[in-house]
Amino acid sequence: MRRIGIRREDKDPWEARVPVVPDDAARLMRSGAAEIVVQPSAQRVFGGDEYVRAGASLDDDLSACDIVLAVKEIPRELFAPCRTYAFFSHTIKGQPYNMDMLRRLMELECQLVDYERITDERGRRLIFFSRFAGLAGAIDSLWALGRRLEWEGVAPNPFAGLKQTYRYPTLAAALAAVREVGQRIACDGLPAQLCPFVVGVTGYGNVSLGAQEVLDALGAVTLVPDALDGLFAGAAARRTVHSVVFAEHDMVARRDATAPFALDEYLERPELYEGAFERWLPRLTVLLNCVFWDVRYPRLVTKAAARSLYAAAPPRLRVIGDVSCDIEGSVQLTVKETHIDEPVYVYDPDTGSIGDGVAGKGPVVLAVGNLPCELSRESSVAFSAALSPLLPTLAAADFSVPYDRLSLPPELRRALILHHGEFTPDYAYMQRFVAETGPEIDG
């Protein structure tokens, strides 16, 4: 019987997530699909005793395992020849910090399955933590808002009692706390200087949906972007939080205005478009950035726009929760990744300097790169529920055969980056990444 190993996570002291939870491990073993071996870990959200009760064995040594599962990248010195590894590899864009790891997998003729690439026939991801990034990012941004308003001396401050997500025992408890804040606003209202109160959410994928769950708990009333001008023209709503979700056509404009916006064209030829999101910034109190971004696309918030926004009186915008967390990416003010224990800094638009905490001129920026770790148990349960049905076929696969004879379901085949240490056809383009950052790998 094949053995599946679950590696301990050691990249980050906050990383307590697991790819397979004990209950799913028990079902997998009862089915006869595989044995489970778990590396002991003091920081894992599920204890070793829970896996033992499920029927798994604990062992520091995973060298006898045919397949090793992890969440984050595995150090290169821990790979063994001809094994199959599954984790978030962060390699498909040619990330230079992981090319040495990728080369080692190639040298050892290993298989690499990347969870990010497990998709359906339309390219939609099937296994992800992103909803929990949106949940934790939105809760933490509201917490940061409470702290910022305290520093400003704004009262009453209904957000002052909120805590960071990880300080609640469960997601349900965190959402209940947000719900209480919403009820307080509905009853007592907001300070006049905060009204109208608008939270903007960029994007509509899984990260955005998680953030919107939090705003729903807050009791937010959803508006379309074009309704913002009318909102500000009318009487300020003291007892209402408004949320606005921005799609691509709200965030960019075609350089040649004689042609209409076309989503397919924008995705394929973003150079024909320029950023147009900054016109919304004066209307927002909190911005939750939840979009996918790479260097081909226009930025949403530039440093120049921040200077302009803060040039006169302090604007409405207090907090930018950059859940996407691309360094100097779609939000150019995200100049560093923050951590759960020090999650925010203030970006000074005049000098470009930053200071940890919530004090100072400029927006508070939250840019935590591992937000789902704040909900390690719930996010692991959801992730495991999606991954576990694929594990019997992964365990049964005969990787010794040539790629064109490999029996894998299409979801896993699309995620197989390396087979026998060679790039599979969909990932042949990655050969240039390893060549650019080191010696060529002989096939």
The amino acid at residue 225 is P
User: Residue 71 corresponds to which tokens in the numbers above?
Assistant: 């969440």
pLDDT at 442 over 50: no
pLDDT at 272: 97
440 pLDDT more than 70: no
pLDDT at 108: 97
**Cα–Cα dist 164/136, whole Å:** 8
Query: In the predicted model, what is the mean pLDDT of residues 388-401?
Result: 96
- Record: fold of 130-369: Rossmann fold (3.40.50)
Residue 150, both tokens: 């305290």
Q: What percent of the chain has pLDDT over 70?
A: 98
3-state secondary structure string across the chain: CCEEEECCCCCCCCCCCCCCCHHHHHHHHHCCCCEEEECCCCCCCCCHHHHHHHCCEECCCCCCCCEEECCCCCCHHHCCCCCEEEECCCCCCCCHHHHHHHHHHHHCCCEEEEHHHCECCCCCECCCCHHHHHHHHHHHHHHHHHHHHHHHCCCCCCCCCCCCHHHCCCHHHHHHHHHHHHHHHHHHCCCHHHCCEEEEEECCCHHHHHHHHHHHHCCCEEECHHHHHHHHHCCCCCCCEEEEEECHHHHEEECCCCCCCCHHHHHHCHHHEEECHHHHHHHCCEEEECCCCCCCCCCCECHHHHHHHCCCCCCCCCEEEECCCCCCCCECCCCCCEECCECEEEECCCCCCEEECCCCCCCEEECECCHHHHHHHHHHHHHHHHHHHHHHHHHHCCCCCCHHHCCCCHHHHCCEEEECCEECHHHHHHHHHHHHHCCCCCC
Query: Would you give the DSSP letter of residue 338?
Result: B
pLDDT at position 438 is 66
pLDDT band at 292 (very low <50, low <70, confident <90, very high): confident
pTM of the model: 0.93
- Are 149 and 157 contacting, i.e. CB atoms less than 8 angstroms apart? yes
Count of beta carbons in the 10 Å neighbourhood of residue 426: 14
Class at the top of the CATH hierarchy for domain 3-118+376-437 = alpha beta
In DSSP terms, which residues pair with 18 in a beta bridge? Answer: none
DSSP label at residue 343: -
- Bridging pattern class, strands 422-423 and 416-419: antiparallel
**Residue 124 buriedness (CB in 10 A; 0-12 / 13-18 / 19+):** exposed
State the pLDDT at residue 234. Answer: 78
For residue 405, what are the contacts with CB-CB under 8 A and spacing of at least 6? none
Instruction: Give the mean model confidence (pLDDT) for residues 319-336.
Output: 96
What residues contact 237, with CB distance under 8 A and at least 6 apart? 195, 196, 197, 231
Structure tokens at 124: 């939609």
pLDDT score recorded for residue 443: 40
Q: How does residue 435 score in pLDDT terms, banded at 50, 70 and 90?
A: confident
In tens, the pLDDT along 151-166 reads 999 988 999 999 999 9
- The dihedrals phi and psi of 237, each to the nearest 5 degrees, come to -85, 110
pLDDT tens digits for range 207-264: 999 999 999 999 999 999 999 999 998 777 899 999 999 999 999 999 999 999 999 9
pLDDT-based confidence at 439, cuts 50/70/90? Answer: low
Peptide bond into 343 cis (omega under 30): no
If you average pLDDT over every residue of the chain, what do you get?
95
Cα separations in angstroms, 121 against 85, 125, 126, 314, 409? 23, 10, 11, 48, 11
pLDDT digits (tens, 9 = 90+) for 59-83: 999 999 999 999 999 999 999 999 9
How high is the pLDDT of residue 177? Answer: 98
Q: Give the HSE-up count for residue 88: Cα atoms under 13 Å, Cβ half-sphere.
A: 16
Distance from CA of residue 361 to its chain's centroid? 28
Q: What 3-state class would DSSP assign to 85?
A: strand
Of the chain, the percentage scoring pLDDT greater than 90 comes to 92
CATH 3.40.50.720 spans which residues of the chain?
Answer: 3-118+376-437, 130-369
Q: What is the length of the chain?
A: 443
